[in-house]
Each structure stands twice: as structure tokens, then as C-alpha cells.
Structure 1
Amino acid sequence: MPYPTFAGTMDILFHYFPQLTDHQRQLFQQLETEFRGWNERLNLVARTDVGNLAERHFLHSLGIAKVVEFAPGAAVLDVGTGGGLPGLPLAILFPEVKFHLVDSIGKKIHAVQEMARALHLVNLTAEQIRAEQLRPKYDYIVSRAVARLGTFHGWIAHRYKPRGTAAPGSGLYYLKGGDLTEEIKESGLPAKVVDLKDFFAEEFFETKKVVVVPNS
């Protein structure tokens, strides 16, 4: 696969997700502007990495969508969302899916709420709360590497809808990097690992993966 080149920052998203509507493209452009503004105040991602927002944060978040197609009307929980990743990009990509983003840091959740309001994302809510304190049930759970797999799964294992009522493919979609063999073995979970390098040509994705743990 030839290494693609992109004239503008968001072009990388448009290359890998050509099905995006004009409205979705505009939302991603707006998200970049909003995210940069909030990052100046709160350091949502390392300031040295702001130039790589599209590739290393937005596209990385959307890697989950290369592995699963969330069912319309389904509920997705994003745990430890920080500045809204992966939830904000996924909410733009799946406008008919309901997203609930949670984090224990209030100022980051405030930033997420304000970005969602600016983009008029009516399918997204954000709350300062720990996953273990939640009561609702969800079809899918997503996150970007906030803890070792076994530890993280313990926090969210009881947050799924019953398998009979959950959407197809219900389960955890966890963005992680590196060699996960030992971590998965330690967890004792029936995890499947999907390499993002199979979908994205950039060097950043060489070691990036989506760990899938079915809703059991």
C-alpha cells in the first residue's frame, strides 16, 4: 500500500473515510478548531502533539470504526474520555448512535460538553463520574488505554445490556499499543486483537491495535 500524502490536516480523515458527508467533514474541521482552543487552556493532549491531532488523535479514535459498525440507536460508553477521545470523533461518524463520555476530571468533561455544544452534537452527553459508579447499561464500551486490560474490564464488566437485548457486536473496543500478549494472558479474557496498520499506512499505526472483548 503506497504511503498517502495529504495537503491539509483533515484530509487524512477524508481519505480513510470517503463516505463522510459534507456536514460531517465540516464538523471535523470545526472539532479541530475547538479542540485546539481548549487544548491551549487545559492541555487535553500534549502541546507538542497538537500538530498531529488529525492523525494521532482523531484518526486513531476512528480506528474503532474499522473494526465495528455501531448499530443505529445503540448506546456507547466512552470511559476515561479525557478531552473527548475517542467519543467525539465517533459521535460525528455515527450520528444515529448515542454516546455517553465519562471521566473523573471535571474540567476536561466541561471542555467536552462545550465542544459538543459548539458542534450541536445532540447524540453525545458527557459526565464527571467514574465508570464503577454508573447505573445505565450500554451496547458498546470504548476507551483509549486508561489501564491494563484486566483492571479496566473489571470496571466495566457489569455495564453491558444483557446479550439478548444488546446490539450486534456488543462488547469492549479498547485502543492500545505495543505487544499485548502478556497483558491479555494476564486478564484471562477472550480478547481478539486487530492491528490498525492493516487499515492505516502511517508509521504511527505500526504498533496500534484495537482489543475486542465480547459482551459475555
Structure 2
Amino acid sequence: GKKIKVVEEVADGLGLQNVKVKNMRVEGLQLQFDFIVSRAVAAMPTFVHWVKGKIKKDSVHPLKNGILYLKGGDLTEELKTYRNAQIFNLSDYFTEEFFESKKVVYLPLKFKG
């Protein structure tokens, strides 16, 4: 789709050699990754179930391997079982109205769920 094309162009424009762009259902992936990055396509527990075996255990980055998930709204109830989840409010970085309720949820590999 169009969004995947944009991601490919951004990765190419930045010269990123370690980015793999896939337009498919995560259940079909037979690979493991340092990070799973996605916009919200399901409630967090459902998404965690889909990707749990897809994250490499060995981390080579300052940020531990895990999930980076774009979500909106109140996440209190949805994230209550993920005590180690970190929430980054995008409104702290962007002033446009669109970002007022948007957050990036970082869930390191050692999550429960």
C-alpha cells in the first residue's frame, strides 16, 4: 500500500541498510527482529500474542529489544498487565493537533501477557 511505499522511501532516503519493510500479516513471518514497530491494529494483549515469538532475545542496542506501538486514547486499562511498558506522548514532540492523543508504547522483550 501507500504507507509501505512511504516507509520504504524514508528508509532509502536515510540510507538505512538494516530496515526490512513488509506488508503482510505478522503471523505469517518466520523471522525474528530486534523491534516490532506498528501502528495500532489490535488491543495490546492481542498484538503481543501475535508477535511474542518474533522478537530476538539478544539485544545489541541501548534500548532493549521489544515492541514499539503507536496507540491513541486512554491506555490505562489496556496496559495494566504490562508493568514495564513505557508510554511516550507524541504531543511532547509534535505540536500538530493529530498528535494530541497519540502515544508510542514501548514494551521491552521481557513482558508478561
Q: Quick check: TM above 0.5?
A: yes
Query: For the aligned residues, what is the CA RMSD?
Result: 2.2
Match of 2:8 in 1: 88
Report if aligned partners of 1:191, 1:211 keep a CA contact under 8 Å in 2: yes
- CA change 1:86–1:207 in 2 (3 A) is farther
The answer to whether the aligner puts 1:208 opposite 2:98 as a matched pair is no
What one-letter code is carried by the residue in structure 2 that aligns with 1:167? V
What one-letter code is carried by the residue in structure 2 that aligns with 1:191? A
Percent of aligned pairs with the same residue? 41
Q: Rg bigger for which structure?
A: 1
Match of 1:197 in 2: 91
Structure 1: gaps of 5 or more residues = 1-37, 39-43, 45-82, 104-129
- Displaced runs of 4 or more, over 4 A: none
Shift of the alpha carbon at 1:179?
A: 0.8
Aligned residues: 106
1:143 to 38, 50, 57: 38
Structure 2: gaps of 5 or more residues = none
Q: Which of structures 1 and 2 has the larger relative contact order (alpha carbons within 8 angstroms, sep 6+)?
A: 2
- CA change 1:171–1:139 in 2 (3 A) is same
Query: Any idea what SS the aligned residue of 1:157 has?
Result: helix
Match of 1:174 in 2: 69
1:100 to 21, 30, 37: 21
User: TM-score, normalised to structure 2's length?
Assistant: 0.80
